[in-house]
């Protein structure tokens, strides 16, 4: 195992730590959470003494859970090297029998086993990799069995499904944990490329000085997906694209773009800057929102024949700050679209003066958020030849040359939990503001669902939201 190190993001704690992974054998843990723990282990970024305790309803032995993790890593990450696995596996335990307020299963016994090896001065991290519908039950159980004091708690999204349900869950969570103990994950904020939005802006005057309504016509945040809902029918039909993506990922990325310069790059200042601008989100106008459903959605096993769940959403968001007054933020995401992409496009106003491009490309600064990320500039240049004829050019800066040492979003965020850095997590106040902005889509004024062809760019009505500009993707 690599020696314990210090990262630029913070320092690894020396405190003995027990991580309780609720839903330890579930799909989310298998695909994302367990590979992230493994990456931290191979980088030497876990606490010096730790135990990972999987929890679930099944009767799974410690050895069986270790094998489950090995198989998950082999499928979704890399097959573990024997020496590294030899160091990792003995720190993995499993507590079966579920976990409720009146029946802790074997979890308390397994925690005691971990304490016997680590010492009673351990810190507990509760990681709720479970369906949001189980957050309340598990939180009540944590409270009932006295596992809240001095612990940390990691909640997946969505943290609530409406403003009312958010308040109910938030009140319950705050009856167990102080706000500083709570880490609400939105993995888009953990992406290296998303963090580039503010690092590139604040570090380069070339961009920062034009990052306002004086220079920008609109901002487009576009996350189309080619995937269908696969085996997530039960979850997805109760959620839909707007709740799954708009009120979470897309709102948070919009805040990354729109925030004012923080007082410093310290965690609390970054979070305050992001969430201060979220408080200025104007509630969505249903007349400026288009909801869609791809044609074959209702044929999916587990989806009702009369389902009106949205698999597509496009919305015009307004941010009522001096910097962004009058600049629309166009947000779009959907399933079964022609391509998969994650892009933020800052579209500039036409320049004043005698030269104007006659082409179709819009002058824009584009951030590609997929993978290591890229920055693309669409601009007007001189066409080669004797005459001063404008032409359009596109230049892309791929960020592989600065990607060495980069971590997956989940790895980065879980490391921040250990380090106590909450800058890339959502706060109670910030989430309340997002649900206030989202509330009109959960009222009687919710737009009707419009069908769209599988593999298309969604309902045609979404094109009108961009005005004369059009969507940069798919136009």
pLDDT profile of the chain (475 residues), mean per 10? 40 82 94 96 94 94 97 94 96 96 96 91 94 94 97 93 95 97 90 81 88 95 93 83 93 94 83 92 97 96 94 98 97 97 93 62 85 81 74 73 71 93 90 96 95 97 94 85
Q: What are the beta bridge partners of residue 117?
A: none
Residue with tokens 């968001």: 317
Q: Is 28 annotated as a binding residue?
A: yes
Q: What's the sign of the alpha-carbon dihedral 338, 343, 349, 350?
A: negative
> From CA 449, how far away is CA 129, in angstroms rounded?
31
CA-to-CA dists, residue 132 to 136, 179, 231, 313, angstroms: 8, 19, 17, 21
Strand 50-55 with 92-95, pairing: parallel
Burial group, residue 78, by CB count within 10 angstroms (0-12, 13-18, 19+): exposed
Q: Is 27 annotated as a binding residue?
A: yes
Q: Is 178 annotated as a binding residue?
A: no
Structure tokens at 66: 């270790």
Please tell me whether the peptide bond between 330 and the residue prior to it is cis, using omega within 30 degrees of 0: no
Q: Is 421 annotated as a binding residue?
A: no
Please tell me whether the peptide bond between 158 and the residue prior to it is cis, using omega within 30 degrees of 0: yes
Name the strand (E) or helix (H) holding 378. strand 374-382
**pLDDT for 359:** 53
Name the strand (E) or helix (H) holding 163. helix 163-174
Q: Is 187 annotated as a binding residue?
A: yes
> From CA 118, how far away is CA 12, in angstroms rounded?
17
Is-contact 329 355, C-beta < 8 A? no
Give, as one character, the DSSP assignment of residue 446.
P
Q: Is 48 annotated as a binding residue?
A: no
Q: Which of 126, 198, 249, 356 is catalytic?
A: 249
> Which of 12, 17, 13 has the alpha carbon at shortest distance from 121?
17
CA-to-CA dists, residue 35 to 31, 137, 284, angstroms: 7, 26, 37
First to last CA, the chain: 50
- C-alpha 48 chain-centroid distance: 28
Q: Is 24 annotated as a binding residue?
A: yes
101 is catalytic: no
Q: Is 30 annotated as a binding residue?
A: yes
The angle subtended at Cα 416 by Cα 410 and Cα 419, nearest 5°, is 150
Structure tokens at 425: 């997590």
Structure tokens at 174: 């705050």
**pLDDT for 373:** 81
> From CA 38, how far away is CA 408, in angstroms rounded?
12
- DSSP secondary structure, 17-45, as one string: EEEEEETTTSHHIIIIIHHHHHHHHHTT-
**pLDDT for 228:** 92
What domains appear along the chain, each with residue ranges and CATH number? 6-156 (3.40.50.720), 189-411+422-466 (3.30.360.10)
> From CA 93, how far away is CA 110, in angstroms rounded?
7
């Amino acid at each position: 195992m690599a020696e314990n190190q210090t990262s630029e993001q913070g320092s690894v704690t020396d405190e003995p730590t027990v991580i309780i992974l609720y839903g330890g054998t579930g799909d989310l843990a298998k695909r994302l959470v367990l590979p992230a723990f493994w990456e931290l282990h191979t980088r030497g970024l876990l606490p010096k003494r730790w135990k990972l305790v999987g929890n679930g309803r099944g009767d799974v032995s410690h050895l069986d859970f270790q094998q489950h993790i090995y198989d998950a890593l082999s499928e979704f990450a890399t097959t573990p090297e024997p020496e590294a696995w030899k160091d990792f596996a003995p720190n993995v335990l499993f507590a079966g029998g579920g976990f409720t307020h009146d029946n802790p299963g074997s979890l308390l016994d397994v925690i005691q086993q971990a304490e016997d090896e680590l010492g009673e001065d351990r810190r507990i991290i509760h990681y709720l990799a479970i369906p949001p519908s189980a957050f309340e039950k598990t939180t009540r159980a944590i409270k009932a069995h006295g596992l809240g004091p001095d612990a940390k708690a990691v909640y997946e999204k969505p943290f609530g499904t409406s403003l009312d349900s958010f308040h109910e869950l938030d009140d319950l969570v705050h009856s167990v944990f102080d706000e500083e103990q709570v880490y609400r994950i939105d993995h888009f904020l953990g992406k290296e490329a998303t963090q580039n939005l503010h690092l590139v802006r604040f570090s380069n005057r070339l961009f920062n000085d034009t990052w306002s309504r004086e220079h920008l016509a609109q901002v487009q945040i576009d996350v189309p997906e080619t995937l269908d809902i696969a085996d997530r029918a039960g979850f997805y039909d109760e959620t839909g694209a707007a709740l799954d993506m708009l009120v979470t990922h897309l709102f948070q990325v919009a805040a990354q773009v729109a925030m004012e310069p923080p007082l410093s790059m310290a965690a609390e200042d970054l979070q305050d800057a992001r969430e201060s601008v979220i408080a200025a989100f104007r509630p969505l106008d249903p007349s400026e929102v288009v909801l869609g459903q791809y044609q074959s959605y209702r044929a999916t096993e587990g989806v009702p024949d009369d389902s009106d769940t949205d698999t597509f959403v496009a919305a015009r968001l307004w941010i009522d700050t001096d910097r962004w007054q009058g600049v629309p933020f166009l947000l779009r995401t959907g399933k079964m679209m022609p391509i998969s992409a994650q892009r933020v496009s800052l579209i500039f106003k036409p320049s004043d003066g005698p030269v104007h491009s006659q082409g179709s490309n819009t002058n824009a600064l584009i951030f590609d958020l997929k993978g290591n990320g890229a920055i693309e500039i669409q601009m007007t240049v001189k066409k080669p030849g004797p005459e001063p004829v404008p032409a359009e050019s596109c230049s892309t800066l791929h960020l592989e040359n600065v990607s060495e040492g980069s971590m997956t979003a989940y790895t980065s965020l879980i490391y921040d939990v250990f380090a106590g850095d909450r800058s890339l997590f959502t706060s109670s106040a910030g989430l309340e503001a997002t649900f206030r902005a989202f509330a009109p889509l959960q009222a009687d004024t919710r737009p009707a669902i419009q069908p769209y062809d599988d593999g298309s760019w969604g309902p045609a009505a979404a094109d009108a939201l961009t005005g004369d500009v059009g969507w940069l993707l798919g136009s």
